[in-house]
Amino acid sequence: MADWSPAAYLQYTDERSRPFADLLARVAADPATIVDLGAGPGHLTALLRERWPAAQVTGVDSSPAMVERARAADPGTRYVLGDVRDYAAGTLADPDGPVTGADLVVSNATLQWVPGHRDLLPALAEKATQAFAFQVPGNHDAPSHRLLRAVAAREPYAEALGAPVERRATADPAEYLGILARPGWSVDAWETTYVHVLHGEDPVLRWISATGAQPTLHALAAHDSAHGTGLLPRFEAELGAELRAAYPERPYGTLLEFRRVFVVATRLR
C-alpha cells in the first residue's frame, strides 16, 4: 500500500491518544529506556516523557512519512524506520546503530497490522527488562469495518481490489494473557469500549479513512491512476452513505463505539 498520512491520522488526536494514556497508567515499571513500536508521527512521545521524564525514548515506525513527521516535530527523540518483526528478531538497525531491548517496550494500535503478531509477542516481551505493554483495536466486527468489507466486495470494486479486504482480527484479553503468562511474569489484560462523540461531515468515514480503510482507499486510488477510472470517489460516496445509516448523526454529534484490548506484561523481581 501507499504510505500513511500523518495529517489524516492526527484529525482525531485526542480520541486516539486516550487509550495510550490509559495503557501507560497501568504500567508499574520505572524505565530508563523505552522503545515505542509504531510511534507514528511522534505525537504520543509527550505522554511517555510526562510519565517518565528522565527516560531515553526510541520510536520505531514502518512508515517513512510518519518517521519524517516525527523527526521534524520532535528532534530530541530518536525515530527509526523499521519493522516490528525485525525488532522482535533482534535485527533492527539504522545509521545510528542497532535498536536493542529496553526497560519498557510499548506499542499503541500497531500490532494488528503485523502479520502473525501473536507469534511475535513472546519475543517482544523478552526485549523488555521490566515491562511489555500494548494496546490494539478490538473493533474489527463493528459496523464500520463490516461495511468496509461489504462495500469492497461489490463490483466494480472487488475486481479492482483483486482480493477481499482482510479482517485484521485481534485476540481477546484472555488469549493474549495465555500467550504471555509464564514463570517470572505477571500479566494484566483487559478491554475497554470507548464511546467517541464525533463531529463534522461523515466523521466515521474520516476516522476509518486514516486507519482501517486506508489500504483499500490507496488500492482504489492506484487503480484509478493506472486505468483512468473514478472508483475511489464512487466508493467513498457509497461507503459514506452506508456509514451514515449505521452511525446516524445526533443533535450532539455522531457516536462511535470503539473497543480496544490492553495488555501489560511485567517481569517479577
The torsion region of residue 162 among left (phi > 0), alpha (psi -120 to 50) and beta comes to left
Residue 154 to residue 216: CA distance in whole angstroms? 13
pLDDT of 3: 47
- Given this model, what pLDDT does residue 154 score? 96
Cβ within 8 Å of residue 203, ≥6 positions away: 253, 254, 256
| Residue 246, number of CB atoms within 10 A of its CB | 13
Q: Please give the Cα distance from 253 to 119 (Å, whole number).
A: 40
Residue written as grid cell 483495536: 137
Helix (H, G, I), strand (E, B) or coil at 100: coil
- Name the burial class of residue 18, with classes exposed (0-12), middle (13-18) and buried (19+) by CB atoms within 10 angstroms of its CB: middle
Residue at grid coordinates 524506520: 81
- Counted residue by residue, the chain has a size of 269
Please list the rounded mean pLDDT of every run of 10 residues in the chain (269 residues): 48 79 96 96 88 95 91 92 96 91 96 94 98 96 94 95 83 97 97 95 91 88 94 97 97 96 95
- Amino acid type, 212: G
Which DSSP category does 166 fall into?
A: P
Which amino acid does the sequence have at 98? P
- pLDDT, residue 17, reads 87
Q: What is d(CA 27, CA 222) in angstroms, rounded to the nearest whole number? A: 42
pTM over 0.75: yes
Q: Can you tell me the distance from the alpha carbon of 152 to that of 171, in angstroms, rounded to the nearest whole number?
A: 24
Q: What is the pLDDT of residue 1?
A: 45
The whole-angstrom separation of Cα 256 and Cα 5 is 22
N-to-C CA span, the chain = 43
pLDDT value for 125: 98
Three-point CA angle 8, 251, 237, nearest 5° = 45
Radius of gyration of the chain (CA): 19
Neighbour count for residue 183 (Cβ, 10 Å): 5
Contact in structure between 30 and 52 (CB atoms under 8 Å): yes
Cell 504520543 belongs to residue? 44
- Fold exhibited by the domain 6-267: Rossmann fold (3.40.50)
